[in-house]
Amino acid sequence: MPILWQVDTIVWANAKASEKLLTVENGYEGKPQNVHTFKSSLEQEVSNLPTFLH
């Protein structure tokens, strides 16, 4: 799934559920301007994904 950062799509995520484990692999197209804020936001979204999928 594409992930938007501000106005650009710079990363995509592949999520895979097996048994009770969710694995998320990210691929990057570019580099965000504020890497620290981006990584924090991405981690938060990944941690919310199981709730969204449930």
Q: Which of 10, 14, 16, 20 is nearest to 1 (CA)?
A: 14
Split at pLDDT 50, 70, 90, the class of 50 is confident
The size of the chain, in residues, is: 54
pLDDT at 45: 87
What span, in angstroms and rounded, lies between the C-alpha atoms of 8 and 48? Answer: 21
pLDDT at 11: 82
Domain ranges of the chain: 2-53
AA identity, residue 9? T
**pTM of structure:** 0.66
pLDDT at 52: 83
pLDDT digits (tens, 9 = 90+) for 7-45: 777 788 899 988 888 899 988 887 777 788 888 888 898
Q: Which of 19, 25, 20, 31 is nearest to 46 (CA)?
A: 25
DSSP 34: S
